[in-house]
Structure 1
Amino acid sequence: MEQDFSVALTIVGLVIIFTIVGLLIWGKVSPIVGMTLIPVLGALILGFGFEELREFFASGADQVMDVVIMFIFAIIFFGIMQDSGLFNPLVRGMILLTKGNVVIVAMGTAVVSTFAHLDGAGATTFLLTIPALLPLYKELNMSKYLLLLIVSFSAAIMNMVPWGGPMARTASVLDVDLIELWYPLIPLQIVGLIFAIGLAALLGIREKKRINKRVENGEIEGNDRVDIQSIADDFSRRKAEEAAAAEEKPVRHPAMIWVNFGLTIAVVSLMLFDIVPPEFAFMLGVAVALPINYPNVSDQMGRVRAHAPAALMMAAVILAAGVFLGVMNESGMLDSIALAMVSILPAAVGPFLHVIVGVLGVPMDLLTSTDAYYFAIMPIVESTAAEFGVSSASTAYALLIGNVIGTFVSPFAPAVWLAIGLAGANMGQHIKYSFFWIWGFSIVMLAIAYLMGIFTI
């Protein structure tokens, strides 16, 4: 009887996972609906009652609650920093620094994109970088798809921060402290930034040869006199107009840039050195950032309302994932699936399962959504690999690093469609142009992470 129930747990668990993944891929339900309703129905079919479902929900909610709180306040905090114009001088300075050199423009794009993604939100990164840099690319006859490619892999390096979606999802699945999970990745991010700049330089050299060839063939005219100052001034004017049109007016004293920069460093330091939990650090950051940037109380609440939709959407998804994880873990379905996979996997493959899935992380981004990858695939791989003696941390890092680099080449990431629209590009062409470069970069990052001892085999 016990063996029969274990088989039932495995079958229903797989049906739940495949149903959620399928519905998310086909866009038939939102993650909130899929990850809440389907596991509950599966548990009821197995004979679990509502009293047990309450325990499953409590366990899942406890697992993700700290991440939810951090996400809400991190998104609001960095939204306020964006509104205050904190990153505008960086973008303007990089535009002027390039001096119209194609290779330097490509390298500058990597630097700007990395720091523009400090908030961990793809949409704000693309809104800041693409409109600012696209005129420069057009003036130099550089490809807009090169711009999308460099922004995509550079932002992905910063996307490993604790308030980024992949890290939050990983911490939720493993039920571990976000900051402890992030610490080993900091050296990798530094190395990754260096490699991103290097790859951008390589792509810039390739692009310069392509442009020169087109000039030689008479397809385009050479353009050696690009008015960089005008492009930088246009960026500043556009940002000033956006600020003037905003309903809430922040304090515009020049010193506020440095005040906000200092505040950002302070918030990250509180979290990085484990002085306070990350969710509390960002809560304090919001509490300080609002009054110093918006003295008027109604303006303060206006900025909260402006960023609340993005904050609550991600929080709701993670809470729904808490239901899914609570049901799958506490009911025993996940353990049964892992044991079943162990019984059919060749013994030689088991210890390398996390690496195999990690290497395939970018292609899987084209086949599944981010939520499905982290909340459905990762728990199965983690449980199965654990049966072969692989630590949960090794599995998590391999899957995270292998997948995160490909975030912005996936059609399932809504922010990518925003980038495509801003650049006036085509999604299919973006994937064709960027996919193999990003996949290769992902594999290189995995190899570096292994050599650094971040995950083991």
Structure 2
Amino acid sequence: MLAILGYAMICVFMFLIMTNRISALIALMVIPSIFALFAGFSFAKIGEMSLAGIEQLAPTGVMLMFAILYFGVMIDAGLFDPVVGKILKFVKGDPLKITLGTAVLVLLISLDGDGTTTYMITISAMLPLYKRIGMHPLILAAIAVLGNSVMNITPWAGAMARVVSALQLEMADVFVPLVPAMVGGSIWVLFTAYVFGLRERKRLGVIDLGDFYSEQQKYSENAATLEGVDTKRPKLRLINFALTVALMVTLILGLVPLQYLFMIAFAVAILINYPKLEEQKARIAAHASNVLAVVSLVFAAGVFTGILSGTKMVDAMANSLVSIIPEAWGPHFAIITAVASMPFTFFMSNDAYYFGILPILAEAASTYGVPAVEVARASLMGPAVHLLSPLVASTYLLVGMVKVDFGEFQRFTLLWAVGTSIIMIAVSLLTGAFSL
């Protein structure tokens, strides 16, 4: 009975999310509560289970809050401004250099974990150059989405946050072993950009930009942040860069808990760049909506996972799933999850997959001795295909800015996106992030 209720809950949850009938935030709290009542649990007991889930996810919410604020301050202060100017100076009128420069820019800007910001900065800086050269805008869109997908598994990005929240794992345990996969994915993105650029160079040749270059360089430097020029701190770029490098090194080495690390990094960053109280308030207010959207989702996920676990629905569902999977496949649950993450995350939202399907897969895998942390890492192998889904809002922003047809964009990019996932899976297997 619990398994039937659990599957019904997942189906209702996914249907409501995918048809935009209710927001993920509301669905995560309301749907499991209703089904727990159907299962015979009292409202007080449901509250206890929900609170237990929220308490387990509170550290993740804290980390995400201050990570978003930190990278928001870095973008506001203009840390990435020189990158655009130097890329334009390097690429000049060579299509091959332009595509490689685009890939480098996307990979750097995507470190903030937000696809919307990445697309706005990248497209604003590079689209006029693509138009002037005569390069196909689909290439720009494809490189942007592939580069962003690789960085979509950073600890402060949405996918990683959902995985850790859904399975109640430590962020560092999931993320650090995936760093080699991110490096492999980044190399694949650069290779893809090289192939695109080589084709365009053969078609167009090298173009003399003339005065356009200097004008566009100035424009791009001004467009490299989403805020006004009064928020930029060009004299502090070296300090901001050193602070960011120190943050990333400390994060990877796991020397300090991520929550405290980002709290201190944000405090230092905002004190250095915006020492006046009014400036600090303005910067925090500017990013408050992003913080609220992400952190509220994490706490709502605590309700979902707390009820799913507390009612034992997830155990019943896992047992039923195990009973229909051939026994010989059991030890390979991680690689099965990795491959399945591509179609799963394309046809359903991140919320539906990571909060609805992943806990079932992890529980089923545990019966074969496959650790939940390996299943968690494997589930993060499909972001490149996921970002081509019509369920991803930021992708609509991308194709809208580039002015290409969504279906044409999907067809153009799909094979390269699958290639990105395959490369990341291969590197993960080679480095032991999860087993075959």
Same fold (TM over 0.5): yes
- Deviation string 1:184-204 (CA, Å, 9 cap, x unpaired) is 112222222222211211122
Deviation at 1:267, TM superposition (A): 2.8
Which residue number corresponds to residue 144 of structure 1? 137
Distance 1:375 1:315 in 2: 15
Question: Would you say 1:230 and 2:215 are equivalent positions?
Answer: yes
Distance 2:199 2:52 in 1: 53
Amino acid at match of 1:73: F
1:410 to 370, 378, 389: 389
Question: Would you say 1:167 and 2:160 are equivalent positions?
Answer: yes
Distance 2:433 2:223 in 1: 43
Q: Is the 8 A contact 2:50 2:302 kept in 1?
A: yes
Q: Is the 8 A contact 1:35 1:321 kept in 2?
A: yes
Written as runs of structure 1 = structure 2, the 5 A alignment for 1:22-421 is: 22-209=15-202, 211-212=203-204, 224-227=207-210, 228-238=213-223, 243-244=228-229, 249-250=230-231, 252=233, 254-401=234-381, 403-421=382-400
2:412 to 426, 433, 447: 433
Deviation at 1:240, TM superposition (A): 8.5
Distance 2:172 2:340 in 1: 26
Q: Residues 187 and 354 (structure 1 numbering): CA distance in 2 closer, same or farther, change over 3 Å?
A: closer
Amino acid at match of 2:34: L
Deviation at 1:407, TM superposition (A): 3.8
Amino acid at match of 1:281: L
Q: Is the 8 A contact 2:332 2:435 kept in 1?
A: no
More off after superposition, 104-113 vs 353-362: 353-362
Question: SS in structure 2 opposite 1:16?
Answer: helix
Which residue number corresponds to residue 435 of structure 2? 456
Q: Residues 399 and 242 (structure 1 numbering): CA distance in 2 closer, same or farther, change over 3 Å?
A: closer
Amino acid at match of 2:385: G
Question: SS in structure 2 opposite 1:362?
Answer: helix
Question: SS in structure 2 opposite 1:184?
Answer: helix
Distance 1:272 1:398 in 2: 19
More off after superposition, 51-60 vs 321-330: 51-60
Distance 1:453 1:340 in 2: 29
Question: SS in structure 2 opposite 1:366?
Answer: helix
Deviation at 1:334, TM superposition (A): 0.3
Q: Residues 340 and 202 (structure 1 numbering): CA distance in 2 closer, same or farther, change over 3 Å?
A: same
Q: Residues 239 and 347 (structure 1 numbering): CA distance in 2 closer, same or farther, change over 3 Å?
A: closer
Distance 1:240 1:398 in 2: 34
Amino acid at match of 1:438: A
Question: SS in structure 2 opposite 1:336?
Answer: helix
- Deviation string 1:309-346 (CA, Å, 9 cap, x unpaired) is 01110111111111110111111000100101111222
Q: Is the 8 A contact 1:354 1:381 kept in 2?
A: no
Q: Is the 8 A contact 1:153 1:438 kept in 2?
A: yes
Distance 1:241 1:28 in 2: 31
More off after superposition, 271-280 vs 157-166: 271-280
In the alignment of these two chains, the number of paired residues is 434
Deviation at 1:135, TM superposition (A): 1.0
Distance 1:408 1:122 in 2: 9
Q: Taking structure 2 as the reference length, what is the TM-score of the superposition?
A: 0.94
Q: Residues 21 and 107 (structure 1 numbering): CA distance in 2 closer, same or farther, change over 3 Å?
A: same
Q: Residues 413 and 235 (structure 1 numbering): CA distance in 2 closer, same or farther, change over 3 Å?
A: same
Distance 1:307 1:42 in 2: 35
Which residue number corresponds to residue 422 of structure 1? 401
Q: Is the 8 A contact 1:158 1:189 kept in 2?
A: yes
Q: Is the 8 A contact 1:363 1:439 kept in 2?
A: no
More off after superposition, 22-31 vs 150-159: 150-159
Distance 1:133 1:89 in 2: 14
Q: Residues 434 and 15 (structure 1 numbering): CA distance in 2 closer, same or farther, change over 3 Å?
A: same
Deviation at 1:12, TM superposition (A): 0.5
RMSD: 1.9
Amino acid at match of 1:406: V
Distance 2:355 2:245 in 1: 31
Q: Which runs of 5+ in 1 are unaligned?
A: 1-7, 213-221
Q: Taking structure 1 as the reference length, what is the TM-score of the superposition?
A: 0.90
Q: Which runs of 5+ in 2 are unaligned?
A: none
Q: Is the 8 A contact 1:134 1:144 kept in 2?
A: yes
Deviation at 1:239, TM superposition (A): 5.0
Distance 1:119 1:241 in 2: 13
